[in-house]
Amino acid sequence: MHLIPDQRWTEELAHALAPLCDAFTPLEFYRDGVILGTLTVERAYGEDTRPCGWALWRVDHYKTESALVIVAAVGTHPTFSLADCVLPLFDDMARARGCKAVRFHTTRHGLARLAALHGYGATEYVFRKVMT
């Protein structure tokens, strides 16, 4: 598995990201970030060189360190887990950019368990209230 920069907004990317979208994070959030360059797109390729997903990320800078922030990651391969393959690659991406941490949010319990197996730990609670 490897990631290759692909800084294009395409219908294929939009279709892959659509299941992640809701009223809080609409598809336009991702589209605008890619088009404006505030989000970097990496295309994931499997060992068979077929495209198998995407990762959208940015680097956040803090007083004492920087963090690679995975804004979205989606798999499109029917036979393997993108998370198992790309979580170790995120470590390499962070180190290459001088980051001391990797951060992402998820609502998926299975991904949280898998991330823990790769050394990630929960560091905060995120609360959300949709106003009607």
Q: Where are the domains of the chain?
A: 2-117
**H helices within the chain, ranges in order?**
11-17, 27-36, 82-96, 109-117
The whole-number pLDDT of residue 107 equals 82
The whole-number pLDDT of residue 9 equals: 96
- The span from the CA of 38 to the CA of 98, in Å, is 18
CA 84 to chain centre: 13
Q: Give the whole-angstrom CA distance, residue 89 versus residue 19.
A: 23
C-beta pairs of 62-67 under 8 Å, 24+ apart in sequence: 65/99, 65/100, 65/101, 66/97, 66/98, 66/99, 66/100, 66/101, 67/94, 67/99, 67/100, 67/101, 67/102, 67/103
Cα within 13 Å of Cα(32), Cβ side: 5
Q: Write down the pLDDT at residue 41.
A: 95
The CATH superfamily holding the domain 2-117 is: Gcn5-related N-acetyltransferase (GNAT) (3.40.630.30)
Q: What pLDDT shows up at residue 84?
A: 74
pLDDT score, position 88: 84
What is the pLDDT, as a whole number, of residue 109?
87
Q: What is the chain's pLDDT, residue by residue, as a tens digit (132 residues)?
A: 788 889 999 999 999 999 999 888 999 999 999 999 999 999 988 777 778 889 999 999 999 999 999 999 988 777 777 777 788 889 989 999 999 999 998 888 888 898 899 899 988 887 877 788
Tokens 């598995």 belong to residue: 1
User: What is the model's pLDDT at position 31?
Assistant: 97
